[in-house]
Chains A and B, each alone.
Chain A
């Protein structure tokens, strides 16, 4: 009897976890599910038409999923920063203790101000990086939309598709790096003497600078990858004339369009 009850309780716990799973927040790393490009490819493979309104709705869904993901990143950073408040306070106290060795009151204040500025600058720059990445994601969604329209017309846009994939990965990598940087709290500098103050505080400045430079490199790389995806797509002839077909999706790629593409690309 006891075994049966224990079994039931364990079963209940497992069932609760399974039922609760759809409501738990999605992890930051989760892949975007509402991709217009993938949906367009599916339709073409199934030889099913895609209505204009349906396509529009798919774009909206993708955009709202992106927004949700962007919001999640910011919330994760905010939560982490709130958890670190105590630590930040302790570090400031530590710095005040270390500064007792310094007689010059003006210099003491400057060091405290620099320490505060390091934290403020990290927050400001990482916020700016997140803004850039949000913008890049929004642009990449538009590139996907245009590529999906080409797919619906049976055009070969495999190069653009590959470039889009690379760009998504680059953005994701950069976003993770920005998040980790934004959550960083720098330890106060070691203070040995008034003569060494500039070198010691300078080391902290240098640390922040090199950390931000590394993240900036990833953000710039993400921007370059998005640009590459746009340029690759722009090479497809008459790409901007393609809209969601009013009638049924063609079952085979348009031969005349494909041959034109090859000719123009060779030129």
Chain B
């Protein structure tokens, strides 16, 4: 008899667990949506400010080619000089 009652009590707990989970899901989704909504206006305000202030670099091919030619990659042999000097003193 007692076993039957405890068994019934156990089965009665599950609907409550289910309700708690559903409530948590709903609260989670609401919080997430609220956070998302509060972010959007900040981003919208920032974009025009950037476009007003920033001067975009020239895109003429002369300028571009000049800049590509100006890019230098470090001379590795020179960079190894200090290590080589140390090695020679070993």
Q: Is A118 on the interface with B (CB-CB < 8 A)?
A: yes
List the one stretch of A79-87, A224-232, A257-265 in contact with chain B. Answer: A224-232
Interface core residue of A125, A209, A216, A230 (most chain B CB under 10 Å) = A230
Chain A 176-195 interface mask (CB, 8 Å, partner B; 1/0): 00000000000000000000
Query: Separation in Å of the B14 CB from the closest CB of chain A?
Result: 5
Whose C-beta in chain A lies nearest to the C-beta of B72?
Answer: A132
When C-beta atoms are compared, the residue in chain A nearest to B32 turns out to be: A19
7 smallest A-B Cβ distances: which pairs?
Answer: A234-B61, A142-B59, A145-B59, A198-B90, A146-B59, A240-B60, A227-B68
Q: Does A48 contact B (CB under 8 A)?
A: no
Query: In whole angstroms, how far apart are the Cα atoms of A62 and B60 in the complex?
Result: 18
Quick one: which of A229-254 are within 8 Å of B by CB?
A: 230-231, 233-234, 239-240
Whole-angstrom CA separation of A2 from B65 in the bound complex = 69
Instruction: Spell out A's residues near B (CB within 8 Å).
Output: 1-2, 4-5, 8-9, 12, 15-16, 19, 53, 56-57, 59-60, 63-64, 107, 110-111, 113-114, 117-118, 121, 124-125, 128-129, 132, 135-136, 138-139, 142-143, 145-146, 149, 197-198, 201-202, 205, 209, 212-213, 216, 219-220, 223, 226-227, 230-231, 233-234, 239-240
Whether B8 sits at the interface, judged by CB under 8 Å, is no
Q: Is B27 an interface residue (CB 8 A)?
A: no
Distance between A189 CB and nearest chain B CB, rounded to angstroms: 11
Q: Which residues of A contact B28 (CB under 8 A)?
A: 16
Given A114-B83, A142-B59, A1:B90 Cβ within 8 A = no
Of B17, B68, B74, the residue contacting A139 (CB under 8 A) is B68
Q: Which of A5, A8, A146, A202 contacts B87 (CB 8 A)?
A: A202
How far is A92 from B89 in the complex, measured between Cα atoms in Å? 21
Q: Is the CB of A226 within 8 A of B14?
A: no
| Contact B64–A125 (Cβ < 8 Å) | no
Q: Once the chains bind, are B68 and A5 in contact (CB under 8 Å)?
A: no
| Cβ 8 A contact of A227, one of B25, B65, B80 | B65
User: How many residues of B are in contact with the other chain, CB < 8 A?
Assistant: 42
Partner of A8, one of B21, B51, B82, B84: B21
Closest to A228 in B: B68
Residues in A neighbouring B32, C-beta threshold 8 A: 19
Nearest chain B residue, comparing its CB with the CB of A102: B90
Contact with A along B1-45 (1 / 0, CB 8 A): 000000000010011011001100100110010000000000000
- Taking CB atoms, residues of chain B closer than 8 Å to A233 are 61, 64
| Contact in complex: A110, B64 (CB < 8 Å) | no
Q: For window 50-72 of chain B, which residues contact chain A by CB distance below 8 Å?
A: 50-51, 54, 56-65, 67-69, 71
Q: Shortest beta-carbon distance, A153 to chain B, in Å?
A: 14
* Candidates A142, A205, A223; contact of B57 at CB < 8 Å: A142
23 contacts between A and B (CB under 8 A): A1-B11, A1-B14, A1-B15, A5-B14, A5-B18, A16-B28, A56-B51, A60-B47, A60-B56, A63-B56, A111-B90, A117-B86, A118-B83, A125-B76, A197-B90, A205-B87, A212-B76, A223-B68, A230-B65, A230-B68, A234-B65, A240-B61, A240-B62
Q: Which of B21, B56, B86 contacts A56 (CB 8 A)?
A: B56
